[in-house]
Chains A and B, each alone.
Chain A
């Protein structure tokens, strides 16, 4: 059992999430260690977002244990203070401007004005948000909204970053910046867990990956470890993914049917 300073950034054991009778996440367990970028992969509706939302406290688990740096998620304030989160569907307060939204977030997090403004200056420049800083969020493009959410998640230098499909909607430049930031964050001993559909990104970025299918963890480890698991010496993560989620044969059939 994790505890104290040696506790991992994220410890999940036997997590089950149910929506009525529908089991979205079925008894999954994994750990994210300091300095790790952990990729959560899976087809649509596999249970990735439900898992991430449960860590944040947006969804109540049916059973299981989740701890962030040794603190149970029931210790909401302590846990949320250590986390930076970017949701899959970025619904921010549309009528506010990024400045007003970030003021609200920083006030709730009780951040130090000098420190946060110095950091904010760097983040806003890095993500090229400066010119949109006083434009209502409603008028921003999807990518720029995503950037606002990312800046809000990084503003307080969280120890654990939880990102749900963070690269969707980002331009190539911002995507590269974010990836570099994640690597830098992990190199300093921070931890990252993120869900993605982009296998190339997961392959290049993640220290370890977990593959969820129909709510169950069907494969977990490094990409090399997973290759051994599926007995493929050279397969890409995409091929490994299709194999462990038993979708490989289906893809061929569907493509043939469409071509016909």
Chain B
């Protein structure tokens, strides 16, 4: 079979892998329908899944384009000289590309590694070489659009910005090396995750810690990407100071050596020692990339031949089970499932990461805010302090529908259990609230470090808002469990994601209500005291209503 035919075939296999990746929490939860409807439903899920994956890739490509434009043309690096600006911009972009691709691979590469689609391929009249080729093509398809976008956009943007073809070619070379590194890290993480965390990951404390460790490694790049992007100027200053104090320290380090090389090709005015160091280390990175790509190919062929799909047996401990209260049983089960699913785990951890990012933004907004000599009128301080925690809740409000949809995992069995709706709701509220409290605590800790003079006021105000936050979590969970769960049941969080977002926005209003009322009262009465009273009253009313609704659930 020729390569073009194999490429076409790989599309079908790729679709299946993508489908499995988001449909891995396949339900038994497809609710009773006629066989025709079930077919339609699965078809619709498959289409949605495919659309979402393409959309994600296109968004990543746009992001790469925007990032390149921002870094090269925005003037963000004007504080340093042009040579150093080139080093900083290329290095920043290379490390961002590395993080983007690794982050992108979170879900699909795990499915790719654990996929059993090769079981079917091997039964068909393909040679093993063909199967491996199909798998390699599938792997390329996972990242195709962002990889191509990075290869095309970054060198062109560099060339246009610095007016150097040789520099642009050097950037192209650097991007290719970075992409190989990113793909290698992606597959290495997926293999480790699958082998150590999923396939071999029992319920021991060490097993759970290992899984969380792998998950954290996966999620952190996303966070670092933001930090790099948000602090490009600081990075440039940092690089400048390092370059001045220890001139040779950065030249051998990835990605700076590649950045130095691009700058050298553009300006040809560097210190000879730095030049030699950066050229030598870049060559080492190139050799490393060649070896990485060989390792990558070997692993992909190994996956093609089913070396990872075989089930491993874990040495079992004593046959003994711990029995908890039903609500705690659900919480533990949810955490266990989330700890083994990169997509669910990222949904749990994202609110906390988002809180950290928002706190940095809050901190810069409040830079000049002093309770005694404030540039913001004193009446508006509660609003300024609370708007960020309120926004951070938006991400948390995506959790209840996501957690409720986990209940459809294996529903064909769990549906036979004597499980009260109220128990499920309480368990989901508790888990969501725990994430909320961790986020809140993170914000408080960061404020204590960055804006300690506002700490007491923030704790008091945030405490009031917590009543509204918990109220919205309670009411949303009750609402979704009653009204929307059937719509959300087929598939998982990626199926009709729009429902999750719409639900989150709808219940976000409950959290915002005290702030809206506060804002209006202060606007009309100019009285901060009345505003504060309204804040407390509205939050308390919301919380009381939510508790009342919860007691009525059967």
Contacts and interface: CB of A to CB of B under 8 A. Distances in A.
B524 interface: no
A7 B436 CA distance: 49
A107 B319 contact: no
B329 A130 contact: no
Given A60-B32, A130-B316, A138-B198, A107 B203 contact: no
B312 A130 contact: no
Contacts of A250: none
Interface residues of B, number: 53
A103 interface: yes
A135 B316 contact: yes
B376 interface: no
Interface in A69-114: 76-81, 83, 85, 87, 89-97, 99-100, 102-113
Interface extent on A, as a size class?
Answer: 35 or more
Given A104-B333, A133-B317, A139 B34 contact: no
B317 A134 contact: yes
A25 B328 CA distance: 38
Interface string B202-240: 111000000000000000000000000000000000000
A17 to B, nearest CB: 8
A97 to B, nearest CB: 5
Contacts of A135: 202, 311-314, 316
A91 B323 contact: no
Interface string A198-212: 000000000000000
Interface in A107-166: 107-113, 116-117, 120-121, 124-125, 130-136, 138-141, 149, 152, 162
A80 B333 contact: no
A108 B417 contact: yes
A92 B409 CA distance: 8
B332 interface: yes
Contacts of B320: 117, 120
Nearest to B325: A107
A130 B320 CA distance: 11
Interface in B282-338: 311-317, 319-326, 328-330, 332-333, 336-337
Contact of B199 (A56, A76, A136, A162): A136
A57 interface: yes
Nearest to A54: B32
Contacts of A108: 326, 329-330, 417-419, 423
B457 interface: no
A52 to B, nearest CB: 10
A85 B416 contact: yes
Nearest to B344: A95
A56 B419 CA distance: 12
A254 interface: no
A19 B410 contact: no
A93 B344 CA distance: 14
A186 to B, nearest CB: 20
A173 interface: no
Is chain B's binding surface mostly helix, strand, loop or mixed?
Answer: loop
A16 B324 CA distance: 38
Contact of A134 (B28, B33, B315, B420): B315
Contacts of B410: 91-94
B340 interface: yes
Contacts of A4: none
B307 to A, nearest CB: 14
Contacts of B36: 20
A58 interface: yes
A19 B418 CA distance: 25
Nearest to B327: A107
A81 B416 contact: no
Given A95-B337, A108-B418, A58 B202 contact: no
Given A100-B336, A116-B321, A107 B418 contact: no
A81 B413 CA distance: 14
B331 to A, nearest CB: 10
Interface string B184-208: 0000000000000011011110000
B312, B315, B341, B413 — which one has the most chain A CB atoms within 10 A of its CB?
B413
Given A20-B34, A58-B415, A91-B412, A134 B202 contact: yes
B489 to A, nearest CB: 12
29 contacts: A19-B37, A20-B33, A80-B416, A81-B418, A83-B416, A93-B410, A94-B410, A95-B198, A95-B336, A95-B341, A97-B203, A99-B321, A102-B321, A103-B332, A107-B324, A107-B330, A108-B417, A108-B418, A108-B423, A109-B417, A111-B323, A117-B321, A124-B319, A125-B319, A130-B316, A130-B319, A132-B316, A135-B202, A136-B202
Interface of A: 19-22, 53, 56-60, 76-81, 83, 85, 87, 89-97, 99-100, 102-113, 116-117, 120-121, 124-125, 130-136, 138-141, 149, 152, 162
Given A113-B322, A120-B320, 10 more contacts: A19-B32, A58-B412, A77-B418, A99-B317, A105-B417, A106-B321, A107-B330, A108-B419, A120-B319, A134-B203
